[in-house]
Structure 1
Amino acid sequence: MSSWFGSAPTRVTTSVLLCGYYGEHNLGDDALLDALLAQLPPSVTPLVTAFDQAQISRQHGVASVNRRSLRAVLKALRQCRALVLGGGSLLQDSTSFRSLLYYAALITAARLQGKPVLLWAQGLGPLRRRRSRALVRVLLPLASGITWRDSSSAQLARQLGVAAPHGTDAVWSLPRQHWLGLGGPIVVCWRPTPHLQGEAWKPYLQALEDLAEQTEREVIWLPFHRDQDQRLFDQLQQQGLVGDALVRRSRVVEAVTPSEAMALFRSASLVLAMRLHALILAALAGSPVSALSYDPKVQACATELGCSCIDLADASAEAGALLSSWLEAFEHPPALACLEAMAQATAMHRALLTTLEV
């Protein structure tokens, strides 16, 4: 094991290992990779951890290593001069404690090899287990530099003994687009969630049907995480939860890249987003947005953006109230000043990466 974690002689290249949840058919994480590659200094050669390596090669033209093989990633790390944990919330245990151990192994291996570790635009947590908090308390001081994507992550890090600056999510650094959605469809980016099981979906689906009927718009269902979201509309239909009028107005459209998703968003009269990066990309496309929060990070982003947000933990949702909220947001794009402020707050993430220049 020491040959993988330690400093056994090996040929070190000029590459930097960019570690994240890339190539997993999640448009949000692919957007984070877009932002990270755009912020890298020109002198840096990236090597990306990815599951669908062919997709990453096609979309970005960069070399990759299979992220699901810790052995392969550790081998690649030995040939790189630095490690960057790139965006998202990687140090968390909601996926599993094993996932946290994966990133702990990479950080530890890099430091044992004398290589810098950057936590770039990271979220922190949730850390539900006592052993998770203890592990992260040890890991954070090993980082050579840290920027957080939100204030709650920075606050949790301070509780664990490490102070570092926070900005906004790095996806806010991507170029904004001009909204073209007057008269356009309603785009729905919803996901399966424990908050909505069976009949609990009914008020949301009824409000969506009423909105589409009143405004006479098509409804486009956009799966943001292909493997998790793609069958949601069909599953809701099979459960008898989708009204006939909504079925007639609905179709499912797949976007392969974040830019394809933004093209759909910029033509929308309203985007109803559950996923954080669907909310951000829709706002960057200039589209009117309304959020549905299954996670505090979505609520926090909606508050910063100044858009309406429904807490899915609230079991008292009523179709009429939902419809009123969505009609208020309909064809009313976010304020440009707010979008500019969110973008400016990503500058610290770019500054962190300048430490990699050669």
Structure 2
Amino acid sequence: MGQIRAVLCGYYGKGNGGDEALLASLLQMLPDRVTPVVLSGNPQQTRDRYGVESCDRFSAFEVGKALRTSQAFIWGGGSLMQDATSFISPLYYGGTMAWAQQQGLKTIAWAQGIGPLHRRSIREITKRVLQGCTAVSVRDRASARLVEEWKIEPLLAPDPVWALEDTPVEALENLPSPRIAVTLRSHPQLTPQRLQVLTEALYKLQRATDACILLVPFQFSQDLEIARAIASQLPGSHKILMLEDPRELKGLYGGVEMAIGMRLHSLIMAAARGCRCSALSYDPKVTQLMNDLDLSGWELAQLPEDSQAIADTWIDDFVKEKVLEIEKIEALRDRALLHGKLLEQFVCNS
């Protein structure tokens, strides 16, 4: 049997560590027979980082050429079809999926988190392109229930990043321990007042634990300014760690004792490494992970105004046993690999 070319479409090459981790997970799980062609916002960076063919996601000419010379098209994970942040984004992803289907490619919606879908038009586009897919896999129960309403039977499995292979971060060797990794992102719910309360709580956590605070921006354009603002108010040991390779981002959590995060994939990476975790939720997907893993934390809208109350919760987390048992972590990793089994079944064998 010969090679199969597959176009991979997601929020790639845009500097978002979580989406890059999804791409790395997808490339890791692709069968050997599949040659990937990645649609990227930064094709040269994607080629250099992963050693794959890549083209400009915004060039209709390049995308069209990729589709004409390929046999499969894969939405590569994440919340691509949602209109909570923008209605333009689902138009792009829905449009490229529909284009691939018109070209006769096998199409797979892979490891998706569907919704929220507030606009009727976006909901209808999502329904139509998913119904035209060869296979659909989702990463959460809410997405599964939604597509089941559309008479689609999805594979439900944990986020693929649970199974991402990681790389150690050499820079940690020069930093004192214990270490606590913190990832916050800009969001309307993270008001200046709430950020100040969290900064004060981090100061109190550091004073109680004598920990080195690692501020880890997952998307520099959204996270770095916040990291710098917090760093300017921490008198103890701290460092802003700017890691671009998602395998290093996950590897980082093998060298810290605790993680505090807003971003979904910062918490998944930390939990996958058996790290103590506390969440700050701005989105239902983060709240669901908090509930599934029984993590401490708050939805930002209900964040306590008392920084000491927050610090006390974090201190309790820091001194207790690990959040997840090894058996549960391994089960989540093994189930996440089901997304790879789907690729083997529907890309190579159908």
What does residue 85 of structure 1 align with? 75
Partner of 1:146: 136
Is 1:335 the counterpart of 2:325? The answer is yes
Cα offset, 1:315, TM superposition: 4.7
**Are the equivalent residues in 2 in contact too, given 1:107–1:142 (CA < 8 A)?**
no
**1:61 is aligned to 2:12:** no
Partner Cα distance (2:85, 2:333) in 1: 29
Q: Cα distance 1:263–1:345, how it changes in 2: closer, same or farther (>3 A)?
A: closer
Tell me the equivalent position of 2:201: 207
Shift of 1:101: 1.5
The question of whether the paired residues in 1 share the 8 Å contact of 2:164 and 2:247 is answered with no
- The answer to whether the Cα contact below 8 Å between 1:88 and 1:122 also exists between their aligned partners in 2 is yes
Matches within 5 A, 1:103-182: 103-175=93-165
Cα displacement string for residues 255-287 of structure 1 (whole angstroms, at most 9, x for unaligned residues)? 121222233322212111110011111122332
Match of 2:6 among 10, 16, 29: 16
Query: Is contact 1:299–1:309 with CA below 8 Å preserved after alignment?
Result: no
Give the total of aligned pairs: 340
Equivalent residue, structure 1, for 2:23: 33
Question: Which residue, 223, 228, 247 being the options, matches 1:229?
Answer: 223
**Aligned counterpart, 1:10:** none
In the alignment, what sits opposite 1:306? 294
8 A Cα contact 1:27 1:224, kept in partner = yes
Instruction: Tell me which of 159, 173, 181 is aligned to 1:187.
Output: 181
Q: Distance in 1 between matches of 2:288 and 2:167?
A: 23
In the other structure, the counterpart of 2:348 is 357
- Three-state SS of the structure 2 residue aligned to 1:21 is coil
Alpha-carbon shift at residue 158 of structure 1 (Å):
2.2
Cα gap change, 1:124 to 1:218, in 2 (>3 Å): same
1:220 is aligned to 214
CA deviation profile, 1:142-198 (whole Å, cap 9, x unmatched) = 1110011110111121234423231110111224799x9994221111111111212
Same amino acid, percent of matched pairs: 35
Distance 1:120 1:233 in 2: 32
Match of 2:270 in 1: 282
- Number of the residue aligned with 1:5: none
SS class of match (1:91): coil
Deviates more, 1:184-193 or 1:304-313: 304-313
Q: Could you give the per-residue CA deviations for residues 280-301 of structure 1, whole angstroms, max 9, x where no partner exists?
A: 1112233221111111111211
Question: Is the partner of 1:313 in helix, strand or coil?
Answer: helix
**Which deviates the most, 204-213 or 128-137?**
128-137
Residues 315 and 174 (structure 1), Cα distance of their counterparts in 2 relative to 1, 3 Å cut = closer
Cα distance in structure 1, aligned partners of 2:20 and 2:325: 26
- Let me know the Cα RMSD of the aligned residues: 2.4
Q: Check 1:266–1:315 CA distance in 2 against 1; reply closer, same or farther (3 A cut).
A: closer
Contact residue 167 and residue 248 of structure 2 kept, 8 A: no
Residue 16 of structure 1 deviates from its aligned partner by 0.6
- SS of residue in 2 equivalent to 1:22: coil
Distance 2:189 2:261 in 1: 15
Q: Give secondary structure in 1 for the equivalent of 2:301.
A: coil
| Secondary structure of the structure 2 residue equivalent to 1:289 | strand
* Uncovered stretches (5+) of structure 2, i.e. residues with no partner: none
- Runs of at least 5 residues in structure 1 that lack an aligned partner in the other structure: 1-12
- The TM-score normalised by the length of structure 2 is 0.90
1:54-108 CA deviation, whole Å, 9 max, x = no partner? 2212221000011233442233111111100010111112232221111222122
> Is 2:79–2:112's contact at 8 Å kept on the other side of the alignment?
yes
Q: Is the 8 A contact 1:177 1:284 kept in 2?
A: no
Deviation at 1:251, TM superposition (A): 2.6
Moved more, 72-81 or 32-41: 72-81
What is the identity, as a one-letter code, of the residue corresponding to 1:218?
C
The Cα of 1:231 is off from its aligned counterpart by 1.5
Pick which of 248-257 and 22-31 moved more.
Answer: 248-257
Measured in 2, the distance between the counterparts of 1:283 and 1:68 equals: 35
* Distance change (3 Å), C-alpha of 1:144 and 1:263: closer
Range moving further from structure 2, 57-66 or 315-324: 315-324
CA distance in 2, matches of 1:216, 1:236: 17
Three-state SS of the structure 1 residue aligned to 2:78 is coil
What secondary structure sits across from 2:136 in the alignment? strand
Is the CA contact 1:147–1:165 (under 8 Å) kept in the aligned structure 2?
yes
- Residue 56 of structure 1 contacts residue 62 of structure 1 at CA under 8 Å; is this kept in 2? yes
Deviating more after overlay: 330-339 vs 29-38: 330-339
User: 1:177–1:285: 8 Å Cα contact kept in structure 2?
Assistant: no
